[in-house]
Amino acid sequence: MIRAYQEIVDFIAAGSTPDDVARFEASQATKDRVADLVHKEKTSGLTPEEFSELDHFTKVEHLMRLAKAQARAHCSQ
């Protein structure tokens, strides 16, 4: 499973509160991997597998941004 997905699955499976969601951050290893993929995309290009991995991360990141916004709204109520 792609690392970003695994982190989200583990986070959800452990249970979370709106505060937990609002504070969630990807691991440094995931951030480093994404930075490497973005750099490689801009310089030498990605393999189909790498492109898929980066695309999946982008989708997961978007989902988490939406969840964080919703969680912050819950926390402010």
**Distance of CA 43 to CAs 1, 9, 16, 19, 30, Å?**
26, 32, 39, 38, 20
Question: CA torsion 20→30→41→22, rounded to 10°?
Answer: 10
Say what the pTM is: 0.81
Which tens digits make up the pLDDT trace of 9-68? 888 888 889 999 999 999 999 999 999 999 999 999 999 999 999 998 999 899 999 999
Domain definitions of the chain by residue range: 3-75
Burial (0-12, 13-18, 19+ Cβ within 10 Å), 65: exposed
